[in-house]
Amino acid sequence: MHKSLGALLAIGLAGLQFLAVLVVVSSSYVTSERALIQHARNLLRDVGINTIEHSKGFLSPAEGAAELAARLAQNRVIASDDPMALEQLLFQQLQIAPQFAGIYYGTEDGGFVYVMRSPGAAGPFRSKIITVSPEGARHVEFIWRDDDFQQVAHKVDPDDTFDPRKRPWYNRARQSRATIWTDPYIFFSSQQPGITLAAPVIRDTGAIHGVVGVDIEISMISHFLSRLNIGEHGRALIIHRNGDVIAHPDLEMIKTRSDDGTLRFVNITEFEDPIARAAFAPLLQDGEIRVSSETASQFTYQGASYVSTVMPIISDKLPWTIAVYAPENDFTAVIKQNRTTNIWIAAAVAAITGLVGLALAHYIHKPVRAFAVRSALISQGEIDPNEPLPNTYRELERANETLVQEIAARREQAAQIERLNRDLSHLARGHTMGQMAAGLAHEINQPLTAIAQNADTALFLLAQNPEKLGELPEILNEIERQSLRAGDIIRALRGFIRKDDDRRAPFDFVALVAQTLHLVQPQATEASVEIATDLPASLPPAEGNRIQIAQVLVNLLRNAIEAVATQTDPARPRRVILSARPQADLLRVTVTDTGPGIRPGLNLFAQFETTKPDGMGLGLSICRAIVEGSGGALWEDGEEGQGARFHFTLPLRRPAKPAGPVAPVRADALE
């Protein structure tokens, strides 16, 4: 009987242990999987929003350039009837915007002035000028120019029959009497994807005098998509309303040849990326993609699960849809592997527990059996019932104490499982924070590219004529400046994200501002916002936690940039001004912007109070706590509609007596 009881107890303990671990593992897995999939959807949504804003920012200069040229022509600021003056205007516009492939102006009499990039030809720029005499005689000439608008080659082509009035962009802009965008197409000369924008020139009489056009290569949008980090295998693509894939990380995948040999875009229904085709080809209905709102979904392809997000059409002018997909395993593979490992651990723990339980059951059952034997002997009259009792209950009590200790140990293993879950959540947040730093990669790549190019030039000059240095010292100096620039950016980023030790110490505020601008300049450039500084030539050292004060500066400057980015009044400057002035024993710092200002009744410094749709409302409250912890104050006194103005103060460390010159602060002092 005791053997059956012991086995039952052992099996029961092992089963309960396995069930408990399995429940904890499953619950943790389900919760973590949901959180990570939601994180994946949020990441895909952010990629879509960033791609939309990048596309708008990439193309908006073209619209401004075309409309500016049209206004200058129709107001006769630049005589559109003077081909040479008009050519120079278009040449200047082409130099300003690197994404422009060409810019041109066609007139009602068939005249045409076209300036385009022409790498590898007689000169980096080529102009085509068609003039028509009052008698209808045509004169067509080609001019190649260098970067300084100097002519390097010239050609007259009497056989050219090009007429701008027969081109679709001219007729659409003429009929609509407004700025128009063409559908994307593959440019004939460069064989790269592009789009054309055209704006009519309307004289005071209301008559159409001509049309200004801009050709824009959109291959840079594909390069932008290739740099996005969407898990390990995720992809983003842009689909035109008619189903053509016009941007993809692999630029060659979006082009194919028509039956007549010309290049065209690949339609999503024939796209060579089978996952993208499976996810987004069903969106094409009756030859058109209609997406009115952001749509997130999950789908399966060849047994693998994927998450995807489709953004609504950008605008009527840009009828493009941003589509993003990624495998679920890119986000959940780790926890799935962890779940399998935990189940095996649970099985091993259950087996060990069964063996231990068997021994424990025998130990617990021994005094009970002794008590039963004594009871049987007493009933048979073989022993005196007055004899002392065996230590039956005392042993059971000790066993009970042992079980209590085991329960406490299990609880300790559970305050540990919870800790591990918190660590996993922290790891996921850290991974997201790491991805946010990718925005500076482009900023760092510019000086590194300049370094490589200048170094190659220096080596070439030395190889050609080692006895004559020529421009070599200037080139080497430029290499040094660019390398120091890249180092400053990297050191500023590393210093900003490192953990601080909560200590207050004197620091150079001017040097801190210089490093902070490295961190926010890419965002300001993307939003076309100018950051100006108004700082004294020298300041006494400020007191505080240097890294935390850097956090305050970054938060205020980023808020100001985002505010200015929302204002659409072309007459107002897009500017953020950072100034600092000593006042008695304090340093007063002011961040002013030309945005819309603060809405009345909004408590900016309350926790969870925010004007951003995706904000948490913690930034300014944390900034105020940092400043007050450093012995200063933070407040705002701007006027609605006139921009925001934030101030904060910090203690100044003034020397007790005049001292000698202070050594300059190194750029890596933030670290």
- The answer to whether 279 and 325 have CB atoms below 8 angstroms apart is yes
- Measure the CA–CA gap between 105 and 212, rounded to whole angstroms: 4
- Amino acid at position 172, single letter: R
Q: What is the mean pLDDT of residues 498-525?
A: 82
Mean pLDDT of 316-329: 86
Q: Do 539 and 660 fall into the same domain?
A: yes
| pLDDT the model gives residue 100 | 82
Q: Are residues 277 and 175 in the same domain?
A: no
The number of domains in the chain is 3
3-state helix, strand, coil in the chain (%, to 5): 50, 20, 30
Does 396 fall in a domain? no
Which helix (H) or strand (E) element contains residue 527?
A: none
**C-alpha span between 49 and 36 (Å, rounded):** 20
Confidence at 579, pLDDT banded by 50, 70, 90: very high
Contact call for residues 233 and 128 (beta carbons, < 8 A): no
pLDDT tens column, 247-287: 998 888 888 988 888 889 999 999 999 999 998 999 888 88
Regarding whether 233 and 116 lie in a shared domain, the answer is no
CATH of the domain at 655: 3.30.565.10
* pLDDT-based confidence at residue 656 (cuts at 50, 70, 90): low
User: How many angstroms from the chain centroid is the CA of residue 428?
Assistant: 17
Check whether residue 172 and residue 227 sit in a common domain. Answer: no
What one-character-per-residue DSSP string does 410-446 give? HHHHHHHHHHHHHHHHHHHHHHHHHHHGGGGHHHHHH
Cα gap 378→387, rounded to integer Å? 10
Specify whether 343 is located in the same domain as 320. no
**Displacement of CA 268 from its chain's centroid (Å):** 26
Q: What tokens does 416 get?
A: 């540990």
* Orientation angle between helical segments 472-497 and 441-464, nearest 10 degrees: 160
Q: How confident is the model at residue 428 (pLDDT cuts 50, 70, 90)?
A: very low
User: Domain range holding 43?
Assistant: 1-125+160-211+332-390
Three-state secondary structure of 8-49: HHHHHHHHHHHHHHHHHHHHHHHHHHHHHHHHHHHHHHHHHH
For residues 646 and 578, state if they share a domain: yes
Q: Which amino acid is at 266?
A: V
Q: In CATH, what number is assigned to the domain containing residue 315?
A: 3.30.450
DSSP 469: -
pLDDT tens column, 524-549: 998 999 999 999 988 899 999 888 88
Q: What is the CA radius of gyration of the chain?
A: 36
Strands 235-240 and 244-247: antiparallel
* 394 has a pLDDT exceeding 60: no
Check if the beta carbon of residue 564 is closer than 8 Å to that of residue 595.
yes
Give the model's pLDDT for residue 629. 85
Rounded CA separation 169/164 (Å): 9
d(CA 319, CA 309): 17
Phi then psi for residue 243, to 5 deg, are 95, -5
pLDDT band of residue 429 (cuts 50, 70, 90) is very low
Residue 69 has pLDDT above 70, yes or no: no
Is residue 586 situated within a structural domain? yes
Quote the DSSP letter at residue 530: E
- At 662 the pLDDT is 43
Q: Tell me whether residue 251 is exposed, middle or buried, using C-beta atoms within 10 angstroms of its C-beta: 0 to 12, 13 to 18, 19 or more.
A: middle
Residue 5 lies in a domain: yes
pLDDT at 430: 37
Average confidence (pLDDT) over 649-653: 92
Distance CA 19, CA 354 (A): 13
Distance between CA atoms of 48 and 606, rounded to whole angstroms?
31
- Percentage of the chain beyond pLDDT 70 is 66
CA distance 529 to 576: 7
Q: How far apart (Å, rounded) are the C-alpha atoms in residues 144 and 487?
A: 40
**Longest distance between any two alpha carbons in the chain, whole Å:** 145
Say what the pLDDT of residue 590 is: 96
354 and 268 together in one domain = no
Is residue 460 one of the residues assigned to a domain?
A: no
Same-domain pairing of 530 and 644: yes
Name the domain boundary from 375, 390, 405: 390
- What pLDDT digit, counting tens, does each position of 550-573 carry? 888 988 999 999 999 988 888 889
| Per-residue confidence (pLDDT) for residue 113, from 0 to 100 | 93
- b/e string for 89-120 if b means 16 or more Cβ within 10 A? bbbebbeebebbbbbbbbbbbbbbbbbbbbee
Do residues 80 and 112 lie in contact, with contact meaning Cβ atoms separated by under 8 Å? no
Residue 538 lies in a domain: yes
* Count of Cβ atoms closer than 10 Å to residue 286 Cβ: 5
Position 27 pLDDT exceeds 70? no
In DSSP notation, 550-571 reads HHHHHHHHHHHHHHHHH---TT
Domain co-membership, 203 together with 233:
no
More confident residue, 21 or 118: 118
**DSSP state letter for 625:** H
pLDDT tens digits, one per residue of 600-632: 877 777 655 555 554 444 678 888 888 998 899
Contacts of 411 (CB under 8 A, 6+ apart): none
Among 128-137, 178-187, 231-240, 315-324, name the most confident range.
Answer: 128-137
CB 581 within 8 A of CB 651: no
Is there a domain that residue 455 lies in? Answer: no
> What is the structure's pLDDT at 468?
64
Confidence of residue 13 (pLDDT cuts 50, 70, 90): low
More confident residue, 179 or 613: 179
43: pLDDT strictly greater than 90: no
Angle between helix 392-436 and helix 2-74 axes, rounded to 10 deg: 10
Last residue of a domain, one of 366, 390, 414: 390
For residue 117, the domain's CATH number is 3.30.450.20
Is 127's pLDDT higher than 80? yes
pLDDT at residue 290, rounded to an integer = 84
What mean pLDDT is predicted for residues 143-156?
91
Position 432 scores a pLDDT of 32
Assign 404 to helix, strand or coil.
helix
Q: Which residue, 289, 311, 327, sits at the end of a domain? A: 327
More confident call, 221 vs 498: 221
From residue 361, alpha-carbon distances to 2, 371, 390, 399, 620 in Å are 9, 16, 19, 10, 62
Residue type, 263: L
Cβ contacts of residue 7 below 8 Å, gap of 6+?
Answer: 358, 361
Residue 18 structure tokens: 């396995």
User: According to the model, what pLDDT value does residue 492 have?
Assistant: 52
Least confident among 295-304, 327-336, 343-352, 390-399: 390-399
For residues 63 and 79, membership in a common domain is answered with yes
Element holding 146 (H helix, E strand)? none
Work out the mean pLDDT of the chain and round it to a whole number. Answer: 77
Q: Which of 166, 158, 155, 159 is nearest to 126 (CA)?
A: 155
Task: Looking at the structure, tell me whether residues 503 and 379 fall in a common domain.
Answer: no
Please state, in angstroms and rounded to a whole number, the distance separating the CA atoms of residues 132 and 478.
49
Q: What is the pLDDT of residue 450?
A: 73
180-189, 350-359, 381-390, 625-634, range with the lowest pLDDT: 381-390
* Model confidence pLDDT, tens digit, residues 448-470: 677 767 777 777 777 777 666 66
In a domain, 282, yes or no: yes
In whole angstroms, how far apart are CA 541 and each of 107, 277, 586, 617, 653?
A: 64, 60, 10, 31, 5
Place of tokens 């592997």: 337
Q: How far, in Å, are 379, 436, 610 from residue 441 at the CA level?
A: 90, 10, 29
Residue 216's SS3 state is strand
319 and 339 together in one domain: no
> Do the domain assignments include residue 658?
yes
Q: Look at residue 396 and tell me whether its pLDDT is greater than 50.
A: no
